[in-house]
């Protein structure tokens, strides 16, 4: 075996590639073996030690055939060695150096690589058909029954793209899986063409091909994969162009702890980018939402101003949480199937009359428009307007897109002014209402419950904490006025809060605003709570953490 520019190569008795891991194993064993014991060769039975003529002889050479090491390798000895840094004891083997000064001695040395040399040293042959540096690849050509596919990149830092049959972006995870799979693909058996035969049912048009080209070469390395001999075959025969005398038996079906051909992403739809869009969020200046069941909604922004929602000619500050949800849906959402890349009639997918359109406008009037359709079976599809590609999407993606005007309302529930605040009345479950009175000038609190004065027990910091929560109270999500679960739950609220304030603008005395809350699901600690303001028809969702802040104890602990 000789180390060449193409890795370790066997030069005798035949030409083939050596497994580089085997080469490293032999070198490391030679460098690292430590003498545990020794004796003169006359004192040891060479046959029992595995050191007769049928043993393994190893010779390592440097440049110009300079001798670096030469020894006979025997069988394992009964002795186990202890090595610092290794928990378990390690085996030792009989070794007999062949240099003049030490050939009369036999040593017991740490380590054991004897298994490499079984079965005619077949384990020294590289069972991996490809030998390549993934970083240096510039082109991958794939031929399957589905057709031809070509992947290219311009530089080692450029992203991979599909150039044939269409110009498409690739999915980085799928490309990583392909490159790792090709690198780790390993044959169950390698054999010589002189002793093995290729399948009799071979037809060139039925075979698969995977070809690799590196930046430093124009020569393709072609792996040709032959059809399985029977439908039940676990392996298939294969050849590779840079090892013409070798036949590989490659795993054909998925098996635990190994890479099979079935594990490799080899089709356009396996490798193409499945993200709905690659929008540059920072460049977006407007989003037009056109739903068949709701008003048109325009979300727009002129930096550094906040996002605004314009509905029915009226503009208001937009709910940025819902904007985040929408942008996440169209930039991180993934399609679950590619229907076609050559659609001319969009009727089968309901895209001739889309139930939803999203138009994204960026800087310099650059933008894209997405159309959503539904077929007769209730499946959902998407098309980028102007393209002939139709993709299938998960229904959950549709439900994550806010299309109702109320969903775009700002998440602030109300505006509380401490200057006008007179009192807060809080009732938790079946407890009696707790009345908290507030004096803005002195920031003093007083409390009463069923006529009892509890002022002396108040912890002012806790009372101020609840007030600050109420001041900045934001809903998690606005709901429809017809939301039945919310309506039913709020018939029996678990928390009610009344804010009593001075009405200073029209000097009408006191005004009271009440908000009710109820758990959204059974159990002691639901993730969300329903809520509704007394002056509102729309219920909303509130997160668990904020609800717990509103129900916190305000009295000092004994």
pLDDT at residue 515 above 80?
yes
Check residue 194 and give its pLDDT: 82
Check residue 507 and give its pLDDT: 58
Check residue 252 and give its pLDDT: 94
pLDDT at residue 364 above 80?
no
Check residue 218 and give its pLDDT: 87
Q: Collect all residues with Cβ–Cβ distance below 8 Å to 50 and sequence separation of at least 6.
A: 73, 74, 75, 94, 114
Check residue 508 and give its pLDDT: 64
CA dihedral 274, 279, 282, 286 (to 10 degrees): -130
CA separation for the pair 536, 498 (Å, rounded) = 14
How confident is the prediction for the chain on average, in pLDDT?
91
Question: Residues 282-317: pLDDT tens digits?
Answer: 889 999 999 999 999 999 998 889 999 999 999 999
> Higher model confidence: residue 160 or residue 115?
160
State the greatest distance between any 2 C-alpha atoms of the chain, in Å, as a whole number.
118
Q: Are 215 and 138 in contact (CB under 8 A)?
A: yes
Q: Peptide bond preceding 13: is omega within 30 degrees of 0, i.e. cis? A: yes
For residues 11-26, average pLDDT:
89
pLDDT at residue 33 above 90?
no
Check residue 459 and give its pLDDT: 93
Q: Are 272 and 335 in contact (CB under 8 A)?
A: no
pLDDT at residue 204 above 90?
no
CA separation for the pair 140, 204 (Å, rounded) = 19
Q: Flag the least confident range among 53-62, 156-165, 403-412.
A: 53-62
Q: Please count the other Cβ atoms lying within 10 Å of the Cβ belonging to residue 453.
A: 10
CA separation for the pair 5, 133 (Å, rounded) = 12
pLDDT bracket for residue 411 (50, 70, 90):
very high
CA dihedral 35, 40, 42, 43 (to 10 degrees): -70
* pTM, 2 dp: 0.75
pLDDT at residue 205 above 70?
no
pLDDT at residue 223 above 80?
yes
Check residue 530 and give its pLDDT: 98
HSE of 23, CA atoms in CB hemisphere, 13 A: 16
Q: Find the length of the chain.
A: 558
3-state SS of 333-398? Answer: CECCEEEECCCCCCHHHCCCCCCEEEEEEEHHHCEEEEEEEECCCCCEEEEECCCCCEEEECHHHH
Q: Are 185 and 264 in contact (CB under 8 A)?
A: yes
Check residue 202 and give its pLDDT: 65
**Partners of residue 75 on adjacent β-strands:** none
pLDDT bracket for residue 478 (50, 70, 90):
very high
Q: Name the percent of the chain in helix, strand, coil, to the closest 5.
A: 20, 40, 40
Sheet (strand 434-439) strand order:
452-453, 444-449, 434-439, 421-428, 495-503, 509-519, 528-533, 540-543, 477-478
Question: Residues 308-338: pLDDT tens digits?
Answer: 999 999 999 999 999 999 999 999 999 999 9
pLDDT at residue 44 above 90?
no
Question: Residues 529-558: pLDDT tens digits?
Answer: 999 999 899 999 999 999 999 999 999 775
Q: Collect all residues with Cβ–Cβ distance below 8 Å to 555 and sequence separation of at least 6.
A: 454, 457, 458, 459, 462
**3-state secondary structure (DSSP) of residue 257:** coil
Question: Residues 86-98: pLDDT tens digits?
Answer: 888 889 999 999 8
Q: What phi and psi values does residue 270 have, to the nearest 5 degrees? A: -70, -35
Q: Flag the least confident range among 115-124, 126-135, 143-152, 351-360.
A: 115-124
């Amino acid at each position: 075996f000789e180390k060449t520019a193409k890795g370790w190569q066997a030069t005798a008795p035949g030409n083939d590639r050596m497994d580089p891991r085997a080469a490293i194993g032999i070198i490391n064993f030679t460098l690292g073996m430590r003498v545990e014991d020794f004796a003169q060769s006359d004192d040891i039975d060479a046959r029992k030690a595995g050191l007769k003529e049928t043993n393994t002889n190893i010779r390592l050479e440097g440049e110009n055939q300079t001798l670096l090491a030469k020894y006979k390798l025997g069988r394992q000895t009964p002795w186990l060695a202890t090595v610092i840094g290794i928990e378990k004891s390690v085996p030792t083997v009989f070794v007999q150096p062949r240099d003049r000064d030490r050939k009369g001695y036999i040593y017991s040395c740490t380590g054991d690589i004897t298994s490499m040399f079984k079965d005619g040293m077949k384990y020294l042959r590289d069972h991996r058909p490809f030998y390549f540096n993934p970083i240096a690849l510039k082109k991958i050509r794939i031929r399957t029954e589905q057709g031809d596919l070509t992947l290219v990149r311009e530089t080692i830092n450029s992203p991979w793209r599909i150039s044939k049959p269409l110009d498409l972006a690739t999915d980085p995870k799928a490309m990583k899986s392909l490159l790792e799979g090709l690198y780790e693909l390993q044959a169950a058996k390698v054999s010589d063409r002189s002793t093995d035969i290729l399948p009799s049912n071979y037809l060139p048009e039925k075979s698969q091909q995977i070809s690799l080209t590196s930046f430093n070469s124009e020569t393709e390395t072609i792996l040709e994969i032959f059809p399985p001999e029977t439908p039940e075959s676990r392996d298939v025969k294969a050849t590779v162009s840079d090892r013409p005398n070798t036949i590989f038996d490659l795993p054909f079906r998925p098996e635990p702890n190994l890479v099979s051909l079935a594990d490799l992403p080899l089709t356009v739809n396996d490798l193409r980018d499945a993200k709905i869009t690659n929008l540059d969020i920072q460049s977006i200046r407007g989003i037009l939402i056109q739903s068949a069941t709701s008003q048109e909604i325009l979300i727009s922004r002129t930096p550094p101003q906040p996002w605004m929602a314009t509905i029915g000619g009226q503009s208001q500050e937009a709910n940025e949480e819902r904007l985040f949800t929408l942008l996440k849906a169209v930039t991180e959402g993934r399609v679950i199937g590619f229907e076609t890349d050559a659609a001319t009639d969009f009727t089968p997918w309901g895209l001739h009359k889309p139930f939803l359109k999203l138009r994204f406008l960026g800087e310099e009037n650059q933008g894209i428009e997405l159309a959503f359709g539904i077929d007769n079976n209730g499946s959902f599809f998407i098309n980028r307007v102007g393209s002939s590609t139709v993709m299938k999407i998960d229904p959950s993606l549709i439900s994550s897109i806010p299309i109702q005007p109320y969903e775009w309302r700002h998440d602030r529930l109300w505006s509380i002014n401490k200057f006008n605040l007179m009192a807060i009345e809080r009732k938790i479950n079946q407890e009696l209402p707790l009345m908290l009175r507030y004096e803005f000038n002195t920031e003093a609190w007083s409390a009463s419950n069923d006529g009892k004065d509890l002022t002396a027990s108040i912890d002012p910091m806790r009372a101020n904490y609840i007030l600050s929560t109420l001041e900045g109270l934001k809903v998690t999500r606005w709901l429809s006025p017809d939301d039945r679960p919310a309506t039913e739950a709020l018939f029996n609220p678990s928390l009610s809060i009344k804010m009593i304030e001075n009405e200073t603008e029209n000097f009408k005395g006191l005004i009271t605003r009440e908000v009710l809350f109820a758990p959204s699901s059974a159990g002691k600690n639901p993730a969300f709570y329903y809520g509704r303001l007394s002056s509102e028809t729309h219920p909303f969702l509130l997160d668990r953490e904020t609800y717990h802040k509103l129900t916190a104890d305000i009295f000092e602990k004994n």
